[in-house]
Structure 1
């Protein structure tokens, strides 16, 4: 079983190393979405977090913030124009909301950021697929995901 797990890990690693920029952005979004979903699962039915889950909750929020910061750092502000500027503003806002939600255990702020990330992720999936189709058919220019 260890061999299979190692082979799968190597396959995943190769997939990440050979992924297009658009697909890498999608992977980052998926990671942030997964961590925020996990953070929401720390809340009980009364929208409270039990003491035993507080550290886990904080770790999920911080991982999501790290991923959003990575998305922010990957923006090419000089070439990306208004889109890059708008994304930068969104990423800054998301991290502020997540910081507040981590401090105040605010479920609604997490749900809002998660909803926005899901929408952005869907757009990036479409863009990455368009880029892949353009490359496969030989038509179209490259997609500048840096902005």
Structure 2
């Protein structure tokens, strides 16, 4: 019933994470999605290297879910125009690459997706700064 109480660090992290989500702006929520996807890919790499196949698969599935159900789902394809369309295609590409990495057990593909996530996340962070600084 109180499983999380057996791990106080995990409980604290969950409470802190939940508080961050509740107080986050839309830009911060997207940044948290990028962070979660990057962490899941990094964890998948660790599991891949230690040959923990079940955990590797779970981490890759989590990354794919964050990309598809979080990042891609947050796109406004009409208002975002070509940029949103390109991001949608890139998110599809990353999800396919993660599936390939899982099937073929190729850490280089995880590195590729991680690099793409970091580049997009960095650009998103810069755009958010510009938008925030332009607001009165």
TM-score range, shorter chain: 0.7 to 0.9
* Structure possessing the higher relative contact order (Cα contacts under 8 Å, 6 or more residues apart): 1
Alignment of 1:14 onto 2:19: yes
Instruction: Show the counterpart of 2:66.
Output: 67
**1:8–1:110: structure 2 CA closer, same or farther, 3 Å change rule?**
closer
TM-score scaled by length of structure 2: 0.83
Structure 1 ranges of 4+ moved more than 6 A: 4-8
Following TM superposition, by how much is the alpha carbon of 1:130 offset from its aligned partner in structure 2, in angstroms?
2.6
**1:84–1:13: structure 2 CA closer, same or farther, 3 Å change rule?**
same
What is the rounded CA distance, in whole Å, between the counterparts of 1:108 and 1:82 in structure 2?
A: 29
What is the rounded CA distance, in whole Å, between the counterparts of 1:101 and 1:11 in structure 2?
A: 32
**Aligned with residue 30 of structure 2, among 13, 25, 34:** 25
Following TM superposition, by how much is the alpha carbon of 1:39 offset from its aligned partner in structure 2, in angstroms?
1.1
Q: Which runs of 5+ in 1 are unaligned?
A: 139-147
User: Residues 34-45 of structure 1 correspond to what in structure 2 (within 5 A)?
Assistant: 34-44=39-49
**1:7–1:60: structure 2 CA closer, same or farther, 3 Å change rule?**
closer
TM-score scaled by length of structure 1: 0.78
- Contact 1:22 1:127 (C-alpha < 8 Å) held by counterparts: no
What is the CA RMSD across the aligned residues, in angstroms? 2.1
What is the rounded CA distance, in whole Å, between the counterparts of 2:33 and 2:92 in structure 1?
A: 16
Q: Which runs of 5+ in 2 are unaligned?
A: none
